[in-house]
Amino acid sequence: MTERPVKTVLSVRDLTVEFPSDGGSLRAVDGVSFDLAAGGALGIVGESGSGKSTTALALLGLHRNSGARVSGRILVGDDDVNALDDEAVRRLRGHHVAMIFQDPLSALDPYYRIGDQISEVYRTHSGAGRKAAWTRAVEVLDRVGIPDAARRARARPHEFSGGMRQRALIAMALACEPEILVADEPTSALDVTVQAQILDLLDELRADTGMALLLITHDLGVVSRSADEVLVMQNGRTVEHGPVGEVLRAPAEPYTRALLAAVPRLDGPAPARRPAGEPLLTVTGLSREFRRPGGGLGRDVLRAVDGVSLDVRRGETLGVVGESGSGKTTLARMMVRLLEPTSGSVVFEGRDIARLAEKRLRSVRRDLQMVFQDPVSSLNPRRTVGDSIADPLRVQGMAGREALRTARELMERVGLDPTRHDRYPHEFSGGQRQRMGIARALSLEPKLLVCDEPVSALDVSTQAQILDLLGGLQKEYDLTIVFVSHDLAVVRQVSDRVAVMHDGELVELGDAGRLYESPRHEYTRALLAAVPLLA
């Protein structure tokens, strides 16, 4: 029996995107070509700045009126996106091509109900009335797994969890039944179990509707799990393109091999253990409660951390893992007294810092420092990089000129050009900004460094550089590190011991090798099972 030919729904030929830059032009995408079949899934991978997202935006004509020059052909069916007028491109969006973005909080309007936002998209593209559009919004919310969709459609974005917001964006994209769904880093900010749910949902939608998927990601495990083909980009160009199993198992190009080598793996060798020292910090019976908005008692109190007891040994790296809402970050902030515990103790070098008055706390502040997940929000955009790094030194009484000199030395130590000390955070890449956060945390030569998701938003190559940097600094400065992350493979790579948090409780604690090879708690086993593995 002759097989029916597969319909091509997207054909890109010699796509080039250039942006004006300092009197010249920057070629962000350079001659990229690929096809996408109905029901198929193509993953586009590469480092930050490789041109992945620029390519995705071009498919929907989103570079129009931006000053960008877009050339080549983008055929959606028989229509060339680059040859269509603005009205025709608007009609193409929604019905034929739809997009979901990396950050649902910035893609959703915080003031409007979720159902209204989906309804508006449906009405715009279909001409439906308000009642029919609302019915459609509830229908697609139910389709993507939002429980009690008719009620939750009336909620606003801040009332949804991160995973539910991403489902709402997928529902919005599905409202007009597109042939092609472009997903730009749809799971990078999600913990492993929610990530697995979103990827399962995308797989189901492809199978049920015949929709094609273009998946933009820096996570090669996600591509291995969810794509049929993979296209590897570097500096705007295609480096390698082929079936996902072939490319990931036997890459032909050095760049692809380097990307794969940078990926932390669950099935890799266990990390070399460092000699265990005496406890540097000990938490006992640590709890933290938050009052939910609206006040009240009982069920209006959220216990984010519930009776946690553990120690952090001098010179080790203790990994802390768990899903969003498990209490990881709350625990980390209490360790450095950025949050006061509701009950319990935090003993650092013999002193319970949970009970110290602010004046006495200052004497130990320099020994307890934190590197935050988002360097953009933790760096003042109106202050130069040098000043931001020097600020803790000035607070501790160092003269301004000496503090700035030390800041420049720290910039060089973490791999930044010290001559750029007078630049501002927005002038640097994400990986460079994370290096700034590390430099600032190191300025006071702390004994304990708490890192809260320090590499979660970085591509695998930049992630590997930051992890190598932290490892080198740990040896040089004799640091003890608490490393908080939802990425279990990263935690395995860097940790001596691992603590697993679930619903505010510590459910498992043990040596990294033992815990990953033979987890004892069912929740730990579920977390490990949800991690997407390379083919």
What's the average pLDDT block by block, 10 residues per block, for the chain (535 residues)? 69 94 84 95 91 92 88 92 90 87 80 93 88 93 89 89 83 88 84 85 88 91 93 95 95 94 78 79 95 59 92 96 89 94 94 85 86 78 90 86 91 89 85 87 91 84 88 91 92 94 95 93 93 77
55 by Cβ neighbours in 10 Å (0-12 / 13-18 / 19+) ranks as buried
- Fold held by 279-367+446-530: Rossmann fold (3.40.50)
- Give the bridge partners for 511, in sequence order: 497
| pLDDT value of position 20 | 87
Contact between 12 and 32 under an 8 Å Cβ cutoff? The reply is yes
Tokens of residue 235, six digits: 């500096």
Helix (H, G, I), strand (E, B) or coil at 344: strand
Helix pair 460-477, 430-442: axis angle to 10 deg = 10
Helix (H, G, I), strand (E, B) or coil at 199: helix
Domain 1-96+179-262 has CATH 3.40.50.300: yes
- Give the bridge partners for 69, in sequence order: 18
Contact between 306 and 321 under an 8 Å Cβ cutoff? The reply is no
**Kind of pairing, strands 505-511 and 497-502?**
antiparallel
Instruction: Find all residues with CB under 8 Å of 132, minimum gap 6, and list them.
Output: none
Domain with CATH 3.40.50.300 in the chain: 1-96+179-262, 279-367+446-530
Helix (H, G, I), strand (E, B) or coil at 367: coil
Tokens 């939608």 appear where? Answer: 205
| pLDDT value of position 1 | 43
Count of CB atoms situated within 10 Å of the CB of 131 = 9
Helix pair 400-413, 430-442: axis angle to 10 deg = 130
What's the number of CA atoms in the CB half-sphere (13 Å) around residue 401?
0
Beta strands (DSSP E) in 365-457 are 368-371, 448-452
* Cα radius of gyration (the chain): 25
Give the C-alpha distances (Å, rounded to integers) separating 324 from 110, 192, 328, 361, 504. Answer: 21, 9, 8, 30, 11
| pTM attached to this predicted model | 0.84
| pLDDT value of position 119 | 94
